[in-house]
Structure 1
Amino acid sequence: MRASLIQIAVDEGESVESRRARAAALVREQAGADLVVLPELWTTGAFAYEEFGTEAEPLEGPTYEAMAKAASDAGVWLHAGSIPERDPSGPLYNTSLVFSPSGEPAAAYRKIHRFGFDKGEAVLMGAGRDLVTVRLPGTTLGLATCYDLRFPELFRGLVDAGAETLVIPAGWPERRRAHWTLLAQARAVENQAFVLACGTAGTHAGVPQAGHSIVVDPWGEVLAEAGAGEEILTVEFDPGKVATTREQFPALKDRVL
């Protein structure tokens, strides 16, 4: 399987409309990949809290339309990162979108763990409730977003639901980059699954981003890692290694809780 992680830069001088068009063009350039992944809240920036309300979209809004078309044009499965979603009932959500190679919606995941403690995303957005998996030819994706990476029980739930490849878009800050790499490897090892973690480059509302998108195999080996700037990280991996790893070292069978 070939996956391309688009570590797009968020520049405050670039409009949301321009970045949306640029992201769609980058997706189209990945024709030939099986799976393409964008980061968390790349339209606004994950720390641009004041933009969440003004740039929030309905689920089937302009980003949905642009990404569905890009997925169809490229003929790829597309995890389109996440957007600030405005639910018709009023709340905002940090919502990830997944499209099939025909541009049809395959899944939407509302981020469960909101970052910020008593400010920012934690108070501006509602919490999702549902674990979400997506069946692709050859593997099942388990969806999580950024701060979710710190909560291993969520990933255990995804594995119990059949996940073999854990996809994690993020807007992770540079000052905690060591945690990003460590946690991505930990989630891969403890769940004997591939981890595809796609971050952003640039600066969100004055917060430098870590970049360093990473792909980790079920043994914890880093297959590919990006640098700090805008970059497309492409890697070939064998989804069958999940079953092989779980058979050769059946630690998941010894779970008690």
Structure 2
Amino acid sequence: MRASLIQLQVDTAEPVNARRERACSLVRERATSDLVVLPELWPVGAFAFETFADEAEPLEGPTYQAMSEVARNAAVWLHAGSFVERAPDGTLYNTSLVFSPDGRLAASYRKIHRFGFDKGEAVLMGAGDQPVTVPLPDTTLGLATCYDLRFPELFRQLVDAGAQTLVIPAGWPARRRAHWSLLARARAVENQSYVLACGTAGTNGGVEQAGHSVVVDPWGEVLAEAGPYEEVLTVELDPAKVGKTREDFPALRDRVLGLDTP
């Protein structure tokens, strides 16, 4: 299974429509991949809070339409990162979309853990309340977004729901890059799953982005890692490695706390 992570540069000086077209072009170039992943809030910038309300879209707005079309054109599974969704009641959400190779929406996920500590995303956006998994032909994706990475209980729920590959689009700040790399490996090791963590490059909202998108295998080995600039990682994954790791070192079987009891 071939996966490509597009570490897109997000600069608020670039018009949203131009970046959307550029993202589509980069996805089309990955037509030999099975799964393509874009980062968090790439249309607007994860820290460009002042643009959220003006650039918010309905679920099936311009970003949805462009991503559906390019997934179909490239014939890939596309995790289209996330965008600012405006729900019918006016609430804004940080919403991820996953499209199948025929352009059908396979799943959407509203970010559960909002970042900001009483400002920014934490006060501007509503919170999702449901973990989401997506079955693909060769693996099952578990969806999370950026700040979610700090909350291991979400990933346990995703694994319990069948996830084997954890996909985490992000707009992670450069000043906490060490946490990004550490937590991505930790989530892979403790859940014995692949982790595909796709960040952004550039600066938005005055915040330099970490970049350093990373692919980690179920044993915690880094298979590929990007630098700080716009870059595409393409990696061959062996879906059978998840089951083999869990069989050879059955730590998940020994869980005691946090399990439902009969």
Q: TM-score, normalised by structure 1?
A: 1.00
Equivalent runs, 1:60-79 vs 2, <5 Å: 60-79=60-79
Deviation string 1:179-214 (CA, Å, 9 cap, x unpaired) is 000000000000000000000000011100000000
| Aligned equivalents of 1:49, 1:13: Cα separation in 2 | 14
Partner of 1:141: 141
Amino acid in structure 1 at the alignment position of 2:111: K
Quote the offset at 1:90 in angstroms. Answer: 1.4
Aligned to 2:9: 9
1:230 lines up with 2:230 in the alignment = yes
Amino acid corresponding to residue 17 of structure 1 in structure 2: N
CA distance in structure 2 between the partners assigned to 1:231 and 1:28 by the alignment: 15
Shift of 1:225: 0.2
Match of 2:221 in 1: 221
2 CA distance for matches of 1:129 and 1:220?
28
**Residue 98 of structure 2 is aligned to residue 98 of structure 1:** yes
Aligned length: 257
1:53-104 deviation digits (Å, cap 9, x = unpaired): 0000000000000000000000000000000000001110000000000000
Is the Cα–Cα contact under 8 Å of residues 12 and 48 in structure 2 kept in the other structure? no
SS of the equivalent of 1:155 reads helix
The CA distance in 2 between the partners of 1:248 and 1:195, in whole Å, is: 19
- CA–CA distance in 2 between the matches of 1:32 and 1:180? 28
User: Residue 260 of structure 2 aligns with which residue?
Assistant: none
* C-alpha deviation, 1:141, in angstroms: 0.1
User: Which letter does structure 1 place at the counterpart of 2:79?
Assistant: H
**Map 1:6-45 → 2, pairs under 5 A:** 6-45=6-45
- Identity among equivalent pairs (%): 77
- The structural deviation recorded for 1:162 is 0.2
Structure 1 residue 166 and structure 2 residue 166: aligned? yes
CA distance in 2 between counterparts of 1:121 and 1:15 reads 21
For residues 110-135 of structure 1, what are the alpha-carbon distances to aligned partners after superposition, in whole Å with 9 as ceiling and x for unaligned? 00000001000000000000110000
Which residue is 1:202 aligned to?
202
Moved beyond 6 Å, runs of 4+: none
Give the structure-2-normalised TM-score: 0.98
Amino acid aligned to 1:55: E
Aligned-pair distance for 1:137? 0.7
- Structure 1 stretches of 5 or more lacking a match? none
Paired residues of 2:201 and 2:210 also in contact (CA < 8 A): yes
Q: Which whole-Å deviations, capped at 9, do the CAs of 1:16-64 have from their partners, x for residues lacking one?
A: 0100011011101100100000000000000000011000000000000
C-alpha displacement of 1:11: 1.4
Distance 1:69 1:12 in 2: 24
Residue matched to 1:56: 56
Amino acid in the other structure paired with 1:161: A
In the alignment, is residue 246 of structure 1 matched against residue 249 of structure 2? Answer: no
Separation (CA, whole Å) in 2 of partners of 1:10 and 1:237: 27
1:113 lines up with 2:113 in the alignment: yes
Calculate the aligned-residue CA RMSD, in Å.
0.4
Q: Which amino acid aligns with 1:47?
A: F
Structure 2 residue runs of 5 or longer lacking an equivalent are 258-262
What amino acid is aligned across from residue 219 of structure 1 in structure 2?
Answer: W
Secondary structure, counterpart of 1:201 in structure 2: coil
Instruction: Report the alpha carbon displacement of residue 139 of structure 1 after superposing the two structures with TM.
Output: 0.3
User: Who is 1:130 aligned against?
Assistant: 130
SS of structure 2 residue aligned to 1:10: coil
